C-alpha cells in the first residue's frame, strides 16, 4: 500500500506557503503522492470551505517545481465544467516537465450553480465525462489528433509535446454505482472520498467483475485526525463519510480492513487548520503507522 497527502488548497486558513511546506514535508517523509481538490467559482452560501480555493492544476504546477519524487494528483477535477482540450494540455505539460508524475482524478461534480457560473451543462455531465476521458487518451497518445465525439470535434490537429507517458493514470471519483461503472469501463483506478468499508468492498467487487485487464488502482481518500477524541465518521452534504481517527491502534485496524477489501493507495487529508499539528501528525503517521502497510 502507498499513502499520499492532501494539500488542502481550500479554506481561508490555507496559503501558497502552507501548501509548499506540506508538499515538501510529504516528499521528505516518504509519502508517495500529493493531491489538490477542484472548485472554481461556487455560489455564495455553499456550505463547504470552497469559497476560498486555489486553482487545482496551477497549484500542482507550482508544487512540481519544489519536489522531485512525489506523484502529483487531482482529487478530483470536475472535468465536465472545464474545457477538456485545455485541461489535457495543462496535464500533459506538467507530466512532461516532471518526467511522468501526474495522476488524474476525475469526477462529474455536484454543484449545478458552479456549472452555470462556468457556462457548462450540468445535466449531461456524466455523458460528457465519459467522452472526455476518451478524448484525453487520444490527445495524450498522438501528436496529430482527430476526434469526432458528441461534444468535441477535432480534425488533423497538432497536440505537442506529449506527456512523458502516453498512459497518464485516470482515477474515477465518486462512491456509488455510476462511479463504479465508469471506473470499470474507462478508468485506471477508483478514487472515492471517505467511503464506508462495506460500500468500498462492494465497489471493489463490482469493478473487479467488470474491468478490463489493464492495470488498476483502488485508492480511497480519507480525512485523518490522530486525535483520539475526534469521531470516526462525519456528515458532509447529507452523506456519512468515514474518517481515520482515534488511537494509533484504531487507525491501524481501519487501514487493515480497507487493505483487505482492496485499498492500494490512500491519500490522507490531515487537519490543516493548524499547520504545526498537521506536520506533526504527518510525521507520526509515517513513523508509527505506515511501515506496517507500505510495500
- 190-228 confidence digits (pLDDT tens): 999 999 999 999 999 999 999 999 999 999 999 999 999
Where does 117-193 show beta strands of DSSP type E? 144-148, 153-158, 170-173, 189-191
Q: What is the pLDDT of residue 157?
A: 99
Instruction: Determine what percent of the chain is predicted with pLDDT higher than 70.
Output: 98
Burial of residue 224 (CB within 10 Å: 0-12, 13-18, 19+) is buried
Q: What is the pLDDT of residue 47?
A: 73
**237 pLDDT more than 70:** no
Q: 3-class DSSP state for residue 34?
A: strand
pLDDT digit string, tens, across residues 115-143: 999 999 999 999 999 999 999 999 999 99
CATH superfamily of 2-292: Luciferase-like domain (3.20.20.30)
Please report which confidence band the pLDDT of residue 238 belongs to, taking 50, 70 and 90 as the band edges.
low
Q: What does the alpha-carbon distance between residue 127 and residue 181 come to, in Å, rounded to a whole number? A: 12
Q: What is the pLDDT of residue 46?
A: 85
Q: What does the alpha-carbon distance between residue 78 and residue 108 come to, in Å, rounded to a whole number? A: 6
pLDDT digit string, tens, across residues 80-97: 999 999 999 999 999 999
Give the H or E element holding residue 243: strand 239-245
Q: What is the pLDDT of residue 236?
A: 66
Domain residue spans of the chain = 2-292
Q: What is the pLDDT of residue 278?
A: 97
Name the DSSP class of 4. E
Partners of 33 in the beta sheet? 4, 71
Mean pLDDT of the chain: 96
184 Cβ neighbours under 8 A, 6+ residues apart: 206, 207, 210, 211
Please report which confidence band the pLDDT of residue 59 belongs to, taking 50, 70 and 90 as the band edges.
very high
**Cell numbers describing residue 268:** 490522507
Q: Choose among 26, 89, 80: nearest CA to 267.
A: 26
Give the H or E element holding residue 112: helix 112-117
Mean of pLDDT values over 156-168: 96
Amino acid at each position: 500500500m502507498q499513502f499520499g497527502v492532501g494539500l488542502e488548497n481550500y479554506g481561508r486558513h490555507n496559503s501558497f506557503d502552507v501548501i509548499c511546506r506540506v508538499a515538501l514535508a510529504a516528499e521528505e517523509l516518504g509519502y508517495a503522492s500529493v493531491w489538490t481538490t477542484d472548485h472554481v467559482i461556487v455560489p455564495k452560501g455553499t456550505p463547504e470551505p470552497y469559497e476560498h480555493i486555489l486553482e487545482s492544476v496551477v497549484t500542482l504546477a507550482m508544487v512540481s517545481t519544489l519536489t522531485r519524487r512525489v506523484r502529483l494528483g487531482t482529487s478530483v477535477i470536475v472535468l465536465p465544467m472545464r474545457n477538456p482540450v485545455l485541461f489535457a494540455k495543462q496535464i500533459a505539460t506538467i507530466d512532461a516537465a516532471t518526467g511522468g508524475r501526474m495522476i488524474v482524478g476525475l469526477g462529474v461534480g455536484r454543484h449545478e450553480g458552479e456549472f452555470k457560473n462556468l457556462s457548462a451543462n450540468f445535466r449531461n455531465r456524466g455523458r460528457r465525462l465519459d467522452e472526455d476521458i476518451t478524448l484525453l487518451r487520444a490527445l495524450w497518445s498522438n501528436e496529430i489528433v482527430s476526434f469526432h465525439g458528441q461534444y468535441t470535434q477535432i480534425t488533423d490537429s497538432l497536440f505537442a509535446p506529449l506527456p512523458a507517458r502516453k498512459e497518464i493514470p485516470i482515477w474515477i471519483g465518486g462512491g456509488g454505482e455510476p462511479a463504479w461503472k465508469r471506473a470499470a469501463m474507462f478508468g485506471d483506478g477508483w478514487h472515492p472520498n471517505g467511503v464506508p468499508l462495506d460500500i468500498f468492498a462492494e465497489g471493489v467487487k463490482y469493478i473487479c467483475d467488470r474491468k478490463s485487464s489493464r492495470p488498476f488502482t483502488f485508492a480511497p481518500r480519507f480525512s485523518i485526525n490522530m486525535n483520539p477524541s475526534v469521531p470516526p465518521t462525519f456528515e458532509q452534504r447529507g452523506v456519512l463519510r468515514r474518517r481515520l481517527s482515534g488511537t494509533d491502534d484504531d487507525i491501524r485496524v481501519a487501514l487493515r480492513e480497507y487493505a483487505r477489501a482492496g485499498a492500494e493507495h490512500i491519500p490522507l487529508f490531515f487537519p490543516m487548520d493548524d499547520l504545526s499539528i498537521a506536520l506533526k501528525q504527518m510525521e507520526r503517521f509515517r513513523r508509527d503507522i505506515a511501515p506496517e502497510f507500505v510495500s
